[in-house]
Amino acid sequence: MKTQREAPEAFSEVVRRVADGECEVNCSRELQRLLLALRNQATAQMKEVSGSLTLKLSVACDPHGLLSIAYTLERKDPKKQTSRSVCWVTKGGNLSFDMPRQEKLPLIEPPRQQFRDVVYDESGDEVESN
């Protein structure tokens, strides 16, 4: 006589029940954060970027058939584009941000400007301030 197997429970139902629904809520929240980070970085870098969201379920079973399920989420946002600097290596092995073969130009301090408060009336015209 053949034994009939149960159909597998839908994975979405399992995720919905893990940690009394906390797993599903956190998955949704982290997915939204990832999507926002992807959109922002793709716009800032003007190119396709990628990230990931990994859900790990750790399942343990005792000899009596009692299962425990724990979860962890790991979100990897897209790499942010950063600026870079150009520098040279000195003979002594240090960094120099000045080109070694270029003469240094004398720096001239610009004249300081005096600033004043400006007040405008309702029509947008400037009025004298004290």
Residue 5 in domain: no
pLDDT tens-digit series, residues 7-30: 999 999 999 999 999 999 999 999
Query: Residue 97 — very low, low, confident or very high, per pLDDT cuts 50/70/90?
Result: confident
Residue 117 in domain: no
The predicted pLDDT at position 7 comes to 92
pTM above 0.85, yes or no: no
Higher-scoring residue by pLDDT: 122, 36 = 36
Q: What is the count of structural domains for the chain?
A: 1
Residue 16 in domain: yes
Residue 44 in domain: yes
Residue 15 in domain: yes
Give Cα 84 distance to the centre of its chain.
19
Query: Residue 69: pLDDT above 90?
Result: yes
The predicted pLDDT at position 129 comes to 62
Higher-scoring residue by pLDDT: 98, 14 = 14
Contact 90, 98 (CB under 8 A): no
Which residues pair with residue 48 across a beta bridge?
none
Containing domain of residue 51, as a range?
A: 11-76
Residue 29 in domain: yes
Residue 55 in domain: yes
